[in-house]
């Protein structure tokens, strides 16, 4: 088993990565402060529930935990205020109290939703992240939890750190190939912003990662989580350095908003966004070749790098204006200077962003 720590003084917590961890959940839940005296609420989605919910419920109940569960539809549409209200109802009807905890069993959508429920139920109770996707290695670490508004993604949220991230890699073996690639997008992102050697490692081991080779996947998850944990430990509430983790997200969120949460998986939209950020970086002075290298790495993981021509440029620009990274009339972008090094640029010319969008549509 691999173990990391997100260091936040009294709110520090471990990330455990390994095989067979779901079966050992009761001992880790007790070890890291969850009580058997109050009910646990497991929040999951329909897809994950069919595979893992029953076994986890039985394992926890056999160990003496009281467990209630709530299942939401799969997909980004579950990060809504209406589903959030349903989850609050489930918590109230399940008689959760201040000593209870919420368990997020699933991918990034479930983690964000369940975490926001935990952050706001009775003004905040404990929760545990139990990710079942590669993509969730990013979203399950760092305590950013949220739901979406029709006008903007993740605009309604909080910072609420989990007690524990329990990452059973066995759950990744059933992921469809497209979901695997989408998850690896965020893994590569961590290398692109902070670790050049890891970014090239992702490219060199792309075939093994896509095949879910346990050794390659274990190392990739450990290093990806480790980079994020290092950054979060220094900037928990995104007052500075943590914003680097948004590489590719300004364009990516706009794609999701305009295309709808269905045409692209989150990691796919972020992949196109990272290609755009590299292109923008070259326009703002980064060395030539940055874009080509970035695109090659993304393509090695079978990720998209071009903007669909049917997405309206004006609509995309408008969506970026609603993004949290649009401040005081200026566009804020995370711009790579080279592979493995990125910076926050707070006054990016809107004309340059529009030009990048058009070039992405042409595949240039």
Instruction: Kindly report, residue by residue over 151-178, the tens digit of the pLDDT.
Output: 778 889 999 999 999 999 999 999 999 9
Establish whether 266 is an annotated binding residue. Answer: yes
Task: Say what the pLDDT of residue 116 is.
Answer: 98
Catalytic residue, from 46, 208, 222, 238: name it.
238
Q: Is 75 within any annotated ligand binding site?
A: yes
Average pLDDT on 193-208 reads: 98
268 labelled binding-site residue: no
Q: In what order do the strands lie in the sheet with 40-45?
A: 2-6, 13-18, 164-168, 126-131, 101-106, 40-45, 67-72
**Catalytic position from the list 126, 223, 249, 325:** 249
Active site residue 330: no
Q: Is 54 annotated as a binding residue?
A: no
- Among 23-32, 91-100, 279-288, 346-355, name the one with the lowest average pLDDT: 346-355
CATH of 177-362, one of 3.20.20.450, 3.40.470.10, 1.20.1090.10, 1.20.58.220: 1.20.1090.10
pLDDT tens-digit map of 73-104: 998 899 999 999 999 999 999 999 999 999 99
Residue 173 labelled as part of a binding site: yes
pLDDT given for residue 325 in this prediction: 58
pTM of the predicted protein model: 0.92
Catalytic residue among 160, 190, 266, 325: 266
Tell me whether residue 268 is one of the annotated catalytic residues.
no
Q: Is 253 a catalytic residue?
A: yes
User: Is 77 part of any known ligand binding site?
Assistant: yes
pLDDT at position 133 is: 97
Residue 189 a catalytic site member: no
pLDDT at 239: 87
Q: CA angle, corner 280, sides to 276 and 286, nearest 5?
A: 125
Torsion of CA 287, 293, 295, 299, to 10 degrees: 180
pLDDT classification of 326: cutoffs 50, 70, 90: low
Q: What is the mean pLDDT of residues 281-289?
A: 95
Q: What average pLDDT score do residues 3-27 get?
A: 94
> CA-to-CA distance for 278 and 262, rounded, in angstroms?
25
Each residue of 39-60: pLDDT tens digit? Answer: 999 999 999 999 999 999 999 9
| Active-site residue, from 144, 189, 223, 325 | 144
Gap between the Cα atoms of 262 and 268, Å rounded = 11
Report residue 331 as tokens: 């566009």
CATH number of 2-172: 3.40.50.1970
- Catalytic residue, candidates 253, 256, 282, 325: 253
Confirm whether residue 59 is marked as ligand binding.
no
Q: Is 132 annotated as a binding residue?
A: yes
Domain residue spans in the chain? 2-172, 177-362
Q: Considering only 148-157, 198-207, 240-249, which range has the smallest mean pLDDT?
A: 148-157
Could you give the residue ranges of the DSSP H alpha helices within 211-339?
214-234, 249-259, 266-283, 290-300, 313-322
Q: Give the tens place of pLDDT for each residue, 119-131.
A: 999 999 999 999 9
Known binding residue 111? Answer is yes
Residue 347's pLDDT band (boundaries 50, 70, 90)? confident
* 46 in a known ligand binding site: no
Residue 134 confidence (pLDDT) above 70:
yes
pLDDT band with cut points at 50, 70 and 90 for residue 327: low
Position 203 pLDDT exceeds 70: yes
> Apex CA 318: angle with CA 314 and CA 319, to 5°?
120
Among 220, 218, 208, smallest CA distance to 20 is for 218
9 in active site = no
**pLDDT for the residue numbered 328:** 57
Whether 239 sits among the annotated catalytic residues: the reply is no
Burial 29-56 (b: 16+ CB within 10 A, else e): beebebbeebbbbbbbbebbbeebbeeb
Please say if 11 is a catalytic residue. Answer: no
Place of tokens 């595949």: 363
Q: 318: Cβ–Cβ under 8 A, 6 or more apart, which residues?
A: none
Q: Is 250 annotated as a binding residue?
A: no
Q: Indicate the average pLDDT of the chain.
A: 94
DSSP string for 98-162: TT-EEEEEESHHHHHHHHHHHHHGGG--EEEEEE-SSTHHHHTSS-EEEEEETTEEEEEEEE---
For the chain, percent of residues with pLDDT exceeding 70: 97
Interval 331-345 mean pLDDT: 95
- 148 tagged catalytic: no
| Options 242, 256, 282, 325, the catalytic residue | 242
């Amino acid at each position: 088993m691999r173990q990391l720590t997100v260091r936040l003084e009294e709110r520090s917590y471990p990330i455990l990565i390994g095989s067979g961890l779901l079966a050992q959940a009761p001992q880790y839940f007790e070890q890291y402060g969850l009580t058997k005296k109050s009910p646990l609420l497991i929040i999951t989605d329909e897809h994950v529930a069919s595979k893992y919910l029953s076994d986890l419920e039985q394992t926890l109940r056999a160990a003496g935990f009281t467990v209630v569960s709530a299942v939401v539809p799969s997909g980004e549409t579950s990060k809504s205020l209406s589903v959030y209200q349903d989850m609050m109802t489930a918590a109230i009807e399940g008689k959760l109290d201040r000593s209870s905890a919420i368990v997020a069993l699933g991918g990034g959508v479930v983690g964000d939703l369940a975490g926001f429920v935990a952050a706001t139920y009775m003004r905040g109770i404990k929760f545990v992240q139990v990710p079942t996707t590669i993509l969730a290695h990013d979203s399950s670490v760092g305590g950013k939890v949220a739901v979406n508004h029709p006008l903007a993604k993740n605009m309604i949220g909080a910072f609420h750190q989990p007690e524990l991230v329990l990452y059973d890699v066995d759950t990744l073996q059933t992921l469809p190939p497209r979901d695997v690639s989408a998850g690896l997008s965020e893994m590569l992102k961590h290398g692109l912003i902070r670790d050049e050697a890891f970014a090239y490692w992702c490219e060199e081991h792309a075939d093994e990662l896509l095949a879910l080779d346990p050794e390659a996947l274990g190392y990739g998850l450990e290093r990806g989580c480790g980079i994020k944990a290092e950054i979060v430990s220094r900037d928990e509430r995104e007052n500075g350095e943590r914003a680097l983790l948004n590489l590719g997200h300004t364009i990516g969120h706009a794609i999701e908003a305009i295309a709808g949460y269905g045409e692209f998986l989150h990691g796919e939209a972020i992949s196109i966004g990272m290609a755009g950020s590299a292109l923008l970086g070259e326009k703002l002075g980064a060395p030539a070749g940055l874009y080509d290298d970035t695109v090659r790495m993304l393509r090695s993981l079978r990720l998209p790098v071009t903007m669909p021509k049917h997405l309206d440029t004006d609509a995309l620009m408008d969506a970026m204006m609603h993004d949290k990274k649009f401040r005081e009339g200026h566009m804020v972008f995370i711009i790579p200077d080279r592979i493995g090094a990125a910076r926050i640029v707070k006054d990016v010319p809107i004309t340059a962003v529009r030009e990048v969008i058009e070039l992405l549509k042409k595949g240039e």
